[in-house]
Structure 1
Amino acid sequence: MLETDQVFAGSIPENYDRYMVPLIFEPFAADISRRAASLSPSAVLETAAGTGVVTRALAPKLSPNASYVVTDFNQPMLDYAASRQAADSRIDWLQADALALPFEDRTFDLVCCQFGAMFFPDRLSAYREAKRVLKPEGHFLFNVWDRIEENVFADDVTNALAEVFPNDPPRFLARTPHGYHDTALIRRELEDAGFAQVAIETRAEQSQASSPRIPAVAYCQGTVLRTEIEARDPGKLDAATDYVAAAIARRHGDGAVSAKIQAHVIMATA
């Protein structure tokens, strides 16, 4: 992972929430919030909250007396998440690094994280921090994307951009969001961090959009892929997005489109 893979700034947070969230994140947010609520936690920490899709899904499911601390490394993403959340006295918003959490030991019943572990520069440190702040027998619940070939639109976008930039294809999607899919490695790192039990489930959903342009704009302008495109040619963002949209249309049709998305859901017990 490159250092720039962590920088979600400028117009990326708004485009991310407008396009990426309904395209690929909402189905898994509904799943992870259901799993989290089933544990009946009274003190919840969310790391790498992004624009708050899990927060919006989970908060209504928590008890009236629960406390919910929502964090992200990127202040622009956290600010956007807070702006989208209904007023809720149970929620505290805090910029925080998952590798160095500013909380006392044994504070939370649940630490949850949706599609954030792939961005951690030192996952073992992040996992140790999650375990440190969990109460005994607390749970660390998170998910990561499966390999890019199991996530069709992401693969389509990556292949199309390789045609736009054949000498230097943007590889952000394959490198980082879809670069941490080895379940044996995930299990080993969690066990090395001290978790006693690790359960991993692979789950498929459908990504749906009203037109091929939606996934093209979502990936090209709502993720760090935008930064990679503009680094190669500052004036080519719109043309690259158009090319990707046409490639998706050729494969999936000109109208409403749908394709498989797949992720691993992990529950580790402290």
Structure 2
Amino acid sequence: MSSPDADKAFTGSIPRLYEEYLVPMIFEPYAVDLVNRIVSRPLTRVLEIAAGTGVVTRNLASALPESVSIVATDLNQAMLDMASKVGTRYPVEWRQADAMQLPFEDSMFDAVVCQFGVMFFPDKPKAFSEMRRVLRPGGVLIFNVWDRIEENEFAHNVAAALAALFPNDPPRFMARTPHGYHDLATITRDLEAGGFRSSPHISTVAARSRATSARIPAIAYCQGTPLRGEIEARDKSRLSEATDAAEEAIVRQFGPGPVDGKIQAHIITIER
């Protein structure tokens, strides 16, 4: 009941819920981390891939001088529309683009940045090859990926709750895609297959995911990601029930009231 295309379907109300709930809860800390890792570099043009609703884009525009050109791309126009609506400190170029076939000339950018997008690419070596192609010699690619789902407590609780709710056909989007590309040896091999010859620098960074109640991560994951499509494909009428089950699972581990769970990701930096 799932497909690679369904895993990339950020449509309907998902962009709004993603921006409202997921961005402050799990994406903002790593956006700040990514930007802090490149702001000291000499930059003229920066390309962001899989920009989503623009949390990294906003941090780039806040940290970099206005003389730096930022192009922010995403496969999903609905996500870019939300990003553009939220806005940035200075104008950036929002552009729909497929990471498998970037619409840019060779050696155009000093840096390519991608936050939690690589996991969605169907052919990762091809995507890395495209990123390398548009980087100037000496330019840098920096991206992050989620560690395994067991290291990310809210996501793990939600997945377990849905597995209990749909025991004959558990929705596996979270483990399969967002948390499905965490093996560092595989990532290194894919970078090599994409043409990178230098060794990547890899950091594993833990952070905290906080919300005022368990309801927020339940809505965020069940209704603000393509997991929603997996739930509705099983039974469209059970989305609210699935959200309730996810909330109950989080309450069981973290208690009522504000919740505070571990999140963990790998940050990879490599020069062309």
State TM-score, norm by structure 1.
0.97
Report the identity percentage. Answer: 57
Distance in 1 (CA, whole Å) between partners of 2:17 and 2:120 is: 19
Give the CA RMSD over aligned residues.
Answer: 1.0
Q: 71, 75, 79: which is aligned to 2:77?
A: 75
Gaps of 5+ in 2: none
In the alignment, what sits opposite 2:235? 233
Cα offsets for 1:46-90 (capped at 9, x unmatched): 00000001011111111221111010000100111111113623x
Cα offsets for 1:114-168 (capped at 9, x unmatched): 0000000111110000000000010000000000000111000000001111111
In the alignment, what sits opposite 1:224? 226
Cα offsets for 1:169-198 (capped at 9, x unmatched): 100000000000000110111122222231
Aligned pairs for 1:230-269 (under 5 A) are 230-269=232-271
In the alignment, what sits opposite 2:43? 41
Pair 1:5 & 2:18 matched: no
In the alignment, what sits opposite 1:192? 193
Amino acid paired to 1:170: P
Pair 1:129 & 2:121 matched: no
Are the counterparts in 2 of residues 162 and 170 from structure 1 also a CA contact under 8 Å?
A: yes
Distance in 1 (CA, whole Å) between partners of 2:166 and 2:41 is: 47
Measured after TM superposition, the shift of residue 36 of structure 1 is 2.1
Distance in 1 (CA, whole Å) between partners of 2:83 and 2:26 is: 17
Amino acid paired to 2:251: A
In the alignment, what sits opposite 2:150? 149
State TM-score, norm by structure 2.
0.97
Amino acid paired to 1:140: L
Are the counterparts in 2 of residues 36 and 58 from structure 1 also a CA contact under 8 Å?
A: no
In the alignment, what sits opposite 1:163? 164
Distance in 2 (CA, whole Å) between partners of 1:197 and 1:248 is: 39
Aligned length: 269
Distance in 2 (CA, whole Å) between partners of 1:247 and 1:64 is: 45
Q: Which moved more, 1:31-40 or 1:19-28?
A: 31-40
Gaps of 5+ in 1: none
Amino acid paired to 1:6: K
Distance in 2 (CA, whole Å) between partners of 1:186 and 1:6 is: 20
Distance in 1 (CA, whole Å) between partners of 2:152 and 2:141 is: 25
Distance in 2 (CA, whole Å) between partners of 1:128 and 1:30 is: 26
In the alignment, what sits opposite 1:177? 178
Are the counterparts in 2 of residues 42 and 63 from structure 1 also a CA contact under 8 Å?
A: no
Amino acid paired to 1:8: F
Aligned pairs for 1:104-143 (under 5 A) are 104-143=105-144
Cα offsets for 1:188-241 (capped at 9, x unmatched): 111222222311111100011111111101000000011111111111111110
In the alignment, what sits opposite 1:207? 209
Distance in 1 (CA, whole Å) between partners of 2:162 and 2:56 is: 30
Aligned pairs for 1:11-30 (under 5 A) are 11-30=13-32
Are the counterparts in 1 of residues 73 and 97 from structure 2 also a CA contact under 8 Å?
A: yes
